[in-house]
């Protein structure tokens, strides 16, 4: 059976100076799936997300999303196509409350930021409130984002990403810095976003337990190259993967 592929990378390479952060990476993300990306620190995971979402030009290869080449498009254009990422370090607006953060996080919408923030449509307003509730931040909605804990900011960033109604969401270490007791709740929400809203998820995750529970298929990077791909339990026992992690310590 052929798979319905939403994102396909072929031979993607990205150098910073003389160093390859990604080298000849080819992988596929099937529509509707939850796919993982793991690898030791510095193996090029965040760089790959930056390449996919137009944050920096790639040196070689192709990135096809919904049948369309992305490599020459800009970040905002890519976001408008429904491909959204979150960051390892959170990108929220500290001096705005949670609701305003939600309202201005819509790059696909026409109109300037002041209009989005001060005269939101009823639909945007309702969606902002609904998504804050979904991530468990309803009671914090009028607090400044800068006053939230790092973990709460990650939840807010997740809600902001959903505000864009993504078809494909790239999450860069969504559970990092989140209180361990809240991690299960977050995983549930990631799954619900996938099941209820139909969002395809491509997730970088450091916590192997989380990844094993969440992803249907895992890609492994080491030294910028893809060294393995497969079902979580195969990846966990793959000698190449174990060696990459031990070698990286």
Residues forming contacts to Mg ion in the complex (CB under 5 A) are 45-46, 88
| Contact of residue 181 among ligand ADP, Mg ion, none (CB under 5-8 Å per partner type) | none
Per CB under 6 A, does 16 bind ligand ADP?
yes
- Pick one of Mg ion, ligand ADP, none as the site partner of residue 41 (Cβ within 5 to 8 A by kind): ligand ADP
39 binds, among Mg ion, ligand ADP, none (CB under 5 to 8 A by kind): ligand ADP
**Residue 97 C-beta: closest distance to Mg ion, Å:** 29
Which among Mg ion, ligand ADP, none contacts residue 16 (Cβ within 5 to 8 A by kind)?
ligand ADP
CA dihedral 175, 70, 199, 115 (to 10 degrees): 90
Least distance (Å) between residue 171 CB and Mg ion: 12
Q: Binders of ligand ADP: how many residues, by CB under 6 A?
A: 11
- Minimum distance between the CB of residue 88 and Mg ion, rounded to whole angstroms? 5
Burial 213-229 (b: 16+ CB within 10 A, else e): ebbebbbbbbbbbbbbb
Residues facing residue 25 across a β-bridge: 12
Nearer to ligand ADP among residue 39 and residue 120 (C-beta): 39
Fill in the per-residue mask, 38 to 77: x = in contact with ligand ADP (CB under 6 A), - = not in contact: -x-xxxxxxx------------------------------
> From the CB of 161, what's the least distance to ligand ADP, in Å?
18
| Residue with nearest beta carbon to Mg ion | 46
Spatial contact of 190 and 34, defined as CB atoms under 8 Å apart: yes
Pairing of strands 60-65, 217-222: unpaired
Interface residues toward ligand ADP, by CB under 6 A? 16, 19, 21, 39, 41-47
């Amino acid at each position: 059976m052929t798979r319905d592929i939403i994102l396909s990378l072929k031979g993607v390479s990205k150098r910073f100076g003389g160093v390859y952060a990604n080298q000849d990476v080819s992988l596929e993300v099937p529509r509707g799936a939850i796919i993982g990306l793991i690898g030791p620190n510095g193996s090029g995971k965040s760089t790959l997300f930056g390449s996919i979402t137009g944050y920096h030009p790639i040196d070689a290869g192709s990135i096809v999303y919904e049948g369309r080449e992305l490599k020459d498009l800009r970040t905002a254009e890519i976001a408008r196509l429904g491909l959204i990422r979150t960051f390892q370090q959170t990108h929220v607006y500290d001096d705005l409350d949670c609701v305003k953060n939600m309202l201005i996080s819509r790059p696909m919408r026409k109109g300037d930021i002041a209009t989005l923030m001060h005269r939101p449509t009823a639909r945007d307003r309702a969606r902002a409130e609904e998504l804050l509730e979904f991530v468990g931040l309803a009671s914090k909605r009028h607090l400044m984002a800068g006053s939230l804990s790092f973990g709460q900011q990650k939840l807010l960033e997740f809600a902001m990403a959903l505000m864009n109604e993504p078809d494909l969401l790239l999450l860069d270490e969504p559970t990092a810095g989140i209180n361990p007791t809240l991690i299960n709740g977050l995983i549930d929400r990631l799954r619900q976003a996938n099941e209820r809203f139909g969002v395809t998820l491509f997730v970088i995750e450091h916590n192997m337990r989380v990844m094993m529970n969440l992803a249907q298929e895992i890609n492994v990077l080491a030294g910028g190259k893809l060294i393995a791909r497969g079902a979580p339990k195969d990846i966990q026992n793959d000698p190449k993967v174990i060696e990459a992690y031990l070698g990286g310590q």
